[in-house]
Chain A
């Protein structure tokens, strides 16, 4: 049971970001538009879920993604969108390497540490002092000899880079799990 819609969204939809991005990347030519597309899909899913929570967050997510791409393609007057329309959602869900939603603590930690490596040097230092050493932003500023304002800016930047690194990458499922999904193709996940 979810505390509220936000809770549902964070627990059921966000973990699928990596799979969603792979889908969008494969089906949309302009890579620059992907973050916007992603956000637009999320908005549609969130607003629909306000009326009623879908039974399967992933089927719902990918249906919304497909419909968005069809709309966009139509607006941009891209020819032959039939290929998109014909794609069976059940196939999509089965074929995707769905991120393991509740990755073990160790896998999660590894993911986080890898994500940290994506941060620019100064940003990483700030995030390390804040998150690992547990310093407050004020203390980080004092320790590094920079303005508190700068620390806040670096934190903001760090959050965004970490989000892209963590959510867009996800954790690949073990083959056994993918296998089970393919066998259950078309059924409720």
Chain B
């Protein structure tokens, strides 16, 4: 029976005994028939919702075995931050795996625990079991649930702890941005911490964590890079150019400051800067001058 099989698959995944071969088998089964996929989605969505039960658990509930409890995670986070860099980098000689994407490249990798990471343009990160160090760029995390082993993303002095959820982390000069699509994420820095839920974003700079609540559509827009689209949402031309420039060696330069503040929106292919420049010419009456290294936009 299809539902029974779907439940078996999910239970297997839930056990943590998972690998690439099993993932391939599961994908094959899901693709065999829509009915398989539906049964799977249905049960999976419910099992994820059941995570909320953990939040309601009374602290006084007797535990037979010592647990990696929420209190201990919070303490662990504060400790790590206080000790600073010592815990922010993987130790030399430890088994960490390096992944990096070139400018304009987009790459998805699967970790042994079932977690899937998608690296955006110009991104560099290291992985170890249930840990990632984001050195540069932006990545989207679809973390396999394992309450016994919280998944941790380290980005500079910011530590992001999750049980199993979907979110992105972007690291740039001076700040780190975390955006949650699904589930719950704990973001900590310098002894401060916040818990993010879906459509929340946190931007951390030294000394501050700024919170934002986004409409669901905007969250989708800001994650559209995963589908190879760049969605510009209430940005100035200068900001739009900066976004495009993350994806291209050939840069967009806004020569005229009066033009830089124009409001731009829309969905674009990030590598198509010539198309974008043409749009600016035709739609906004601007002037684009192209050279091998850059496109200059002026009035």
Q: How far is the CA of A166 from the CA of B63 in the complex (A)?
A: 27
Please tell me if A47 contacts chain B, counting CB pairs below 8 Å.
Answer: yes
Please tell me if B53 contacts chain A, counting CB pairs below 8 Å.
Answer: yes
Interface string of B8-19 (1 = CB under 8 A from A): 101110111000
Q: If the complex has contacts A39-B2, A134-B68, are A155 and B11 also in contact, measured as CB distance less than 8 A?
A: yes
Contact B4 A134, beta carbon cutoff 8 Å: no
Partner of A143, one of B15, B37, B64: B64
Q: How far is the CA of A128 from the CA of B56 in the complex (A)?
A: 12
Q: If the complex has contacts A42-B38, A163-B42, are A113 and B53 also in contact, measured as CB distance less than 8 A?
A: yes
Contact A39 B148, beta carbon cutoff 8 Å: no
Which residues of chain B are within 8 angstroms of A29 by Cβ–Cβ distance?
none
Please tell me if B7 contacts chain A, counting CB pairs below 8 Å.
Answer: yes
Task: Tell me the total A-B contact number using a CB cutoff of 8 A.
Answer: 132
Please give me the residue from chain B that is nearest to A4 by CB atom: B227
Interface string of A129-160 (1 = CB under 8 A from B): 01111111111000100001001110111011
Contact A162 B52, beta carbon cutoff 8 Å: no
Name the prevailing secondary structure of the B interface residues: helix
Name the prevailing secondary structure of the A interface residues: helix
Which residues of chain B are within 8 angstroms of A118 by Cβ–Cβ distance?
none
Please give me the residue from chain B that is nearest to A162 by CB atom: B46
Contact B46 A156, beta carbon cutoff 8 Å: no
Which residues of chain B are within 8 angstroms of A153 by Cβ–Cβ distance?
11
Most buried by B among A39, A134, A139: A134
- A119 CB → nearest B CB, Å: 11
Q: Give the contact-size bracket for chain A.
A: 35 or more
Which residues of chain B are within 8 angstroms of A9 by Cβ–Cβ distance?
38, 41
Which residues of chain B are within 8 angstroms of A105 by Cβ–Cβ distance?
52
> What would 19 A/B residue contacts be, using CB atoms closer than 8 Å?
A3-B226, A14-B41, A35-B3, A39-B3, A105-B52, A112-B49, A130-B14, A133-B63, A134-B69, A134-B147, A134-B148, A135-B147, A137-B16, A148-B15, A157-B7, A160-B4, A160-B7, A166-B49, A167-B46
Q: A109-B52, A136-B146 known; 18 other A-B pairs, CB under 8 Å?
A: A3-B226, A14-B42, A46-B34, A109-B53, A112-B52, A134-B68, A135-B67, A136-B147, A137-B11, A138-B15, A138-B16, A139-B65, A152-B12, A155-B11, A155-B15, A156-B8, A159-B47, A160-B3
Residues of A within 8 A of B (CB): 1-3, 6, 9-10, 14, 35, 39, 42-43, 46-47, 105, 108-109, 112-113, 116, 127-128, 130-139, 143, 148, 151-153, 155-157, 159-160, 162-163, 166-167
